Amino acid sequence: MKKVAVIPGDGIGKEVMEAAMLILENFNLSFKYVWLEAGDEAEKKYGRALPDETLEEVRKCDAVLFGAAGETAADVIVRLRQELKTFANIRPARTFKGVPALHENVNMVIVRENTECLYRGLEFEVADGITEAVRVITREASERIVRYAFELARREGRKRVTALHKANVMRKTCGLFRQVFYQVAGEYEDIKANDYYIDAACMYMAMRPQMFDVVVTTNMFGDIISDLAAGVVGGLGLAPSANIGEKHAIFEPVHGAAFDIAGKGIANPTAMILTACMMLRHFGYPEYADRIEGAVEKAISEGKTTPDLGGELKTMEMANVVLSYVEP
């Protein structure tokens, strides 16, 4: 029995979580769901965006299924990643038939290091009007994330892993990351390895995204490039993600709380549903994940979607369509 902490969070997080849970609860899974609070509303209610009770319970769980957080995102999801030591942030990006996109036939995975870099939050005010931030890149964390990327490529039958960095400017930090990348790549002769400077990679991804298969990079670069990848294939409403650690995992859609549409029932549940599929695969239910993803693809291809994708359905209406398409 796997114990899953379900945290809807704020804004549309509640709506898309309801959609995903409608589908998950249709299957006879060996999961125990524990519903918890975190986010802006929790801060107003308890004085903390991530209440001690929530964090204590999360530590007892095998995974977190998370919806969205608003202004307190750094206090919630970033802290959860740190507390649960989820070192790998996995963000797939692929095109769907029926969704307008900049390019066709895109299918890549961004593997982002999740524990260090500038996102360690080591910022200081050293003098009036002068601030600084410390960028931490270690051999241990770099090797761990690069090896994860190559193992993912091998597991999914992918052919290439590309490292993104800025070693021509940040010669020590990015230089170490690139050095480690090629050292690890030497152990995977069946998979091609190459690298690009992050700025050039952004141009290539906008112009020829098909050249990317698995991308591995540092924390901040990974955050930026994964949103670019999502934009290339049609938007954040299609972008799932997973945070993987040795003992725990966190599954969350890439999009935020979207307060401008919260409560209207029109939020696109696709990213949340696909995020749930990533959780199913993580826990050894690939056949269920395949069936749900196939149902999502069918709904999208038939235009049975929410308004952001050109359809007319409400959030739960689309969820029910997907559920009806899941093979019995």
Active-site residue, 166 included: yes
Active-site residue, 33 included: no
Residues with Cβ within 8 Å of 173's Cβ and at least 6 positions away in sequence, in order, are 135, 136, 137, 218
Active-site residue, 52 included: no
**What are the counts of helices (DSSP H) followed by strands (DSSP E) for the chain?**
12, 12
At 158, the amino acid letter reads R
Of 40, 195, 227, 308, the catalytic one is: 227
The region that residue 268 occupies, defined by phi over 0 for left and psi between -120 and 50 for alpha, beta otherwise, is beta
Of 40, 75, 119, 285, the catalytic one is: 119
Active-site residue, 119 included: yes
**DSSP H/E element including 147:** helix 139-155
Of 44, 85, 97, 199, the catalytic one is: 199
Of 10, 223, 285, 304, the catalytic one is: 223
Give the span between the Cα atoms of 26 and 244, in whole angstroms. 25
From residue 113, give the alpha-carbon distance in Å to each of 28, 34, 110, 146, 152.
Answer: 34, 28, 10, 9, 14
Active-site residue, 227 included: yes
Of 40, 148, 166, 285, the catalytic one is: 166
Catalytic residues: 119, 166, 199, 223, 227
